[in-house]
Amino acid sequence: MTHYPIAIIGAGLGGLMLARVLHVNSFEAAVFDLDASPTARTQGGMLDIHVESGQAALRAAGLYDEFRDLVMPGGEATRVLDKHATVRLAADEDDRDDDRPEVHRRSLRDLLLGSLPEGTVRWGAKVVGATRLADGRHEVTLADGNSFTTDLLIGADGAWSKVRPLVSAAKPLYAGLSFVELSLEDADRRHPRAAELVGGGMMFALGDSKGMLGHRNPDGSLHVYAALLTDEGWSTSGEIDFADTDKAKAALVEHFADWHEDFHGIITEADGALVPRPIHALPVGHQWDRIPGVTLLGDAAHLMSPFAGEGANLALQDGAELALAIVANPARPEDALTQYEAALFPRSTTAANQSAQGLALCFNPQSPQGLLDFFAEMSER
Ligand SMILES: Cc1cc2nc3c(=O)[nH]c(=O)nc-3n(C[C@H](O)[C@H](O)[C@H](O)COP(=O)(O)OP(=O)(O)OC[C@H]3O[C@@H](n4cnc5c(N)ncnc54)[C@H](O)[C@@H]3O)c2cc1C
């Protein structure tokens, strides 16, 4: 059976950052991902990369300057609207003294992928299970029937991690909120009013415990999530037939019936299919006892709703810090994992709390007042 000293499950931002920081320190790892290729799946939208987490990780990876070249100018602009399409806050990037440049997720992932030796990522390698062997190693089984052993197994395989059960019985729980993902291509020309609403960066349109959260991509398209507090099974309940895009648009507009008609246009003008995305989170404070030879990072460790804007940043930070701990303890991997987890648990608990609070702040009958108060408080600090 093939043996890998270090096996990383998942070629998301966290797993790739781990592999990269190991690589620049002359440690090689094998990365396994279920996707058939790096382009098999669309890679979402914009991420703001924070100084203390995502940017610090990119520095550790020796990729900071290349990352800066990918930043979208003006992407930090933020607008808060109410359901009447009244702009309640418009801040361009110069109004924000924090340094949170916006980069497209695909660009960032491509940067990390391109920084690894050819063949580091094994594509089309879906992990279906992992077990601990008597000698302390782990055996990992793939969907194609192959398996391999490893001394150090890292679950960087996202929300529905197949590695997590080795350390924890926790499962993601529905956060009470569902997104419907909408894309509008070539927005300034084809969807000018939607482009105006979103502005040059991010838009938070909130009201009646609902929302439209949008951002502009570097290619001029818009990415908007219509957000609703719903039951867990809502997206598959049949209330909206997502297989019939025209009917789905009409049904979704009904949820925003008393919102300004310009928001209806964002839905009716959307290009392509509407994609429902129920939001899940692991319990706040999720952690586990030290289990030899295995750990988790990123969403596998601390999946949270996106309302702290930390998930990708934490995944990058986890990957870099775990790599540096391994590098610092080459003969004592358990010390490396202990050191890594000692920092991981408190920081992910803080972010998960912020995330849960952010969701409550945005989705309540008084919204968008809570978010406006939050931004006002931030700018006073
Ligand atoms: C709508 C939305 C908006 C968001 N916005 C932001 C934001 O603005 N800022 C921010 O910081 N974060 C944001 N996040 C969170 C962020 O996307 C995640 O926290 C981040 O992508 C986690 O990275 P990861 O590497 O841990 O996992 P992932 O990116 O999920 O990568 C996991 C990888 O593992 C692979 N995989 C999964 N299962 C298996 C398996 N069984 N076998 C092999 N491979 C497997 C997958 O193919 C994938 O490539 C958002 C999330 C959502 C849902």
Same domain membership, residue 116 and residue 221: no
| pLDDT at residue 94, rounded to an integer | 59
Cα 270 to middle of ligand 1, angstroms: 24
Q: Which residue has the tokens 């991997």?
A: 333
* One domain for residues 185 and 125: no
Between CA 167 and CA 375 the distance in angstroms is 38
Tell me if 92 is assigned to some domain.
Answer: no
27 and 118 co-located in one domain: yes
Q: Report which protein residue has its CA nearest ligand 1's atom 3.
A: 306
Domain check: are 164 and 126 in the same one? yes
**Do both 151 and 183 map to the same domain?**
no
This prediction has a pTM of 0.96
Give the residue whose CA is nearest to atom 50 of ligand 1.
Answer: 306
Q: Is residue 10 in contact with ligand 1, taking CB distance under 6 Å? A: yes
Pocket test for ligand 1, best of 21, 31, 34, 141 (most atoms within 8 A of CB): 34
24 & 112 share domain: yes
Q: Write out pLDDT tens, residues 121-131.
A: 999 999 999 99
291 lies in a domain?
yes
Query: Which of 281, 296, 319 is where one domain is finished?
Result: 281
Number of folded domains in the chain?
2
Q: Which domain holds residue 119?
A: 2-73+107-171+283-361
CA of 258 to the centre of ligand 1 (A): 34
Judgement on whether residues 121 and 38 belong to the same structural domain of the protein: yes
In the block, tokens 């309940």 appear at: 237
pLDDT tens-digit map of 63-111: 999 999 999 998 999 999 999 999 999 997 655 555 789 999 999 999 9
Q: Which of 299, 314, 317, 355 to mutate to test the pocket of ligand 1 (most atoms within 8 A of CB)?
A: 299
Domain identity same for 53 and 121: yes
What CATH number is associated with residue 330? 3.50.50.60
State whether 222 and 324 are in the same domain: no
Q: Is the CB of 312 inside a 6 Å radius of any atom of ligand 1? A: yes
CATH code of the domain in which 210 resides: 3.30.9.30
Q: Tell me if 67 CB under 6 Å of ligand 1.
A: no
Residue 261 lies in a domain: yes
pLDDT at 98: 57
Q: How many residues does the chain have?
A: 381
Report the percentage of the chain scoring pLDDT > 70: 98
Q: Is residue 142 lining ligand 1, measured as CB closer than 6 Å?
A: no
